[in-house]
Amino acid sequence: MKTITIKRIYEKPEPNDGYRVLVDRLWPRGVKKETAALNEWNKTIPPSPELRKWFNHQPELFTEFKRRYKEELKTKEEDLNRLKTIAGKQNVTLLYSAKDPKINQAIVLLEVLTKMK
């Protein structure tokens, strides 16, 4: 098993990033598609628009956001398994655009993926 990490999309791509997948439903402001060095932009695995808007990156809501997002991810088994399979062959970097590196969907997704068998 290779590693699965998270990184802000605004950080420079590195060779050890491996398979780079954007896990935001919306394209990040100020990022050119040509320079993002993406292997994939997964628009189905991010939180639903309703959950994203409800959370609005408010730290006090993160615990509840995490619980709700994990519930949503239960319906994304195919996407999760595919990413886990890729991670079995090469490093995977989950890219996000949120400003706070401690409260974002990539953290929750990383936790879910690393707990999968």
Angstrom distance (rounded) from CA 85 to CA 79? 10
What is the pLDDT, as a whole number, of residue 2?
83
For residues 62-72, give the mean pLDDT.
98
pLDDT surpasses 90 at 45: yes
Contacts of 12 (CB under 8 A, 6+ apart): none
CA distance 104 to 87: 21
Nearest alpha carbon to residue 79 among 27, 21, 38: 21
Kindly report the average pLDDT of the chain as a whole number.
Answer: 95
User: Looking at the chain, which runs of residues are DSSP E strands?
Assistant: 4-8, 19-22, 40-41, 92-96
Supply the pLDDT for residue 34.
87
Q: 15: which residues sit within 8 A by CB, 6+ positions away?
A: none
